[in-house]
């Protein structure tokens, strides 16, 4: 073994030890009362060059922006945002094409577009170097906004994040390979395919009201068409542009990952940590890909500890 290889091995071991020490943190005070998913609604609107964004802000303090992924909406953060709002000004929004934001079939949606919109929102909200927290494709949007669109960030948290290829799930790859089949499939049959996929996002089964809070946006013929539109826009080239830049990023970064993530295995988080020179990693026990849904108190604690 060369000296360089030994040093890399030592660094990897140290990073692995850090991840083990911070996993499964103690419950967060004040996080015991869950927020009713049926009551979650964003009250504000922002015009961007790509379309209208539904958003809201909670609390006071240094700014934090929470970015959800696919096929979710900002309801993912409903039990995390109130904990952060005790110390921070927390901005949440629905990605373009999701939830209460502008949605139509003709939209051009991609990780690249979401990064552009996020950078514009930081300007619209007049935020000075906020902390950016991204889940799933929201993680890729955060990194594109910061590294390629010039959005300032004092800290970054990547939660079960889309960054390293391959990240498109087997189900979605099959959809992309047979788009015409799925597009013309009877909606009631396609619904079962999409619903089955969403149910694998959490480690514990979602309660009916929680599942509906995520899936209502995809119901019916319109929801069918919009899901297909989203699938058409997934392109791993949008993150390939990021990968050469990861080793140059000095922004403090925390990686938060569900130990039971069935979409992006925990091994991906270790690979990502190795690529980022100023990162640490929290593994969340009992959490799947939607770790803020499975274990919101643990995810909130990992973020509070890092962002404070």
Can you read off the two tokens belonging to residue 163?
Answer: 């960054």
Domains of the chain by residue range: 45-167+236-307
pLDDT in tens, the chain (308 residues): 223 333 334 454 455 434 633 444 343 333 447 999 999 999 999 999 999 999 999 999 999 999 999 999 999 999 999 999 999 999 999 999 999 999 999 999 999 999 999 999 999 999 999 999 999 999 999 999 999 999 999 999 999 999 999 999 999 999 999 999 999 999 999 999 999 999 999 999 999 999 999 999 999 999 999 999 999 999 999 999 999 999 999 999 999 999 999 999 999 999 999 999 999 999 999 999 999 999 999 999 999 999 99
State the DSSP H helix or E strand holding residue 134, giving kind and residue range, or none if neither: strand 131-136
Q: Can the peptide bond before residue 166 be classed as cis, meaning omega within 30 degrees of 0?
A: yes
Count of beta carbons in the 10 Å neighbourhood of residue 66: 26
Note the pTM of the prediction, 2 decimals. Answer: 0.91
> For the structural domain made of 45-167+236-307, what CATH number should be given?
3.40.50.1820
Can you read off the two tokens belonging to residue 10?
Answer: 């030592």
Residue 219 Cα to chain centre, angstroms:
22
């Amino acid at each position: 073994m060369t000296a360089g290889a030994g040093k890399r091995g030592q660094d990897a071991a140290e990073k692995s030890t850090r991840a083990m020490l911070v996993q499964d943190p103690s419950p967060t005070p004040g996080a015991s009362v869950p927020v009713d998913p049926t009551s979650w609604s964003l009250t504000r609107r922002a015009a961007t060059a790509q379309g209208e964004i539904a958003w809201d802000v909670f609390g006071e303090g240094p700014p934090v922006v929470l970015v959800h992924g696919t096929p979710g909406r900002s309801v993912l953060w409903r039990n995390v945002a109130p904990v952060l709002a005790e110390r921070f000004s927390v901005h949440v929004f629905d990605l373009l094409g999701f939830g209460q934001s502008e949605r139509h079939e003709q939209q051009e949606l991609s990780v690249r577009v979401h990064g552009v919109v996020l950078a514009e929102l930081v300007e619209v909200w007049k935020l000075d170097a906020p902390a950016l927290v991204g889940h799933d494709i929201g993680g890729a949007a955060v990194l594109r906004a910061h590294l390629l669109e010039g959005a300032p960030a004092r800290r970054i948290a990547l939660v079960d994040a889309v960054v390293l290829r391959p990240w498109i799930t087997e189900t979605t790859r099959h959809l992309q390979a047979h788009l015409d089949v799925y597009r013309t499939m009877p909606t009631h049959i396609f619904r079962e395919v999409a619903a089955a996929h969403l149910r694998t996002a959490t480690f514990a089964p979602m309660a009916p009201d929680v599942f509906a809070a995520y899936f209502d946006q995809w119901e019916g013929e319109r929801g069918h068409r919009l899901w297909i539109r989203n699938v058409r826009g997934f392109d791993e080239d949008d993150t390939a542009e990021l990968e050469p830049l990861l080793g140059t990023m000095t922004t403090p970064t925390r990686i938060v990952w569900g130990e039971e993530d069935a979409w992006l295995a925990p091994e991906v988080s270790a690979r990502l940590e190795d690529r980022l020179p100023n990162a640490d990693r929290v593994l969340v026990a009992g959490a799947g890909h939607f770790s803020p849904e499975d274990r919101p108190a643990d995810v909130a604690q990992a973020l509070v500890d890092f962002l404070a």
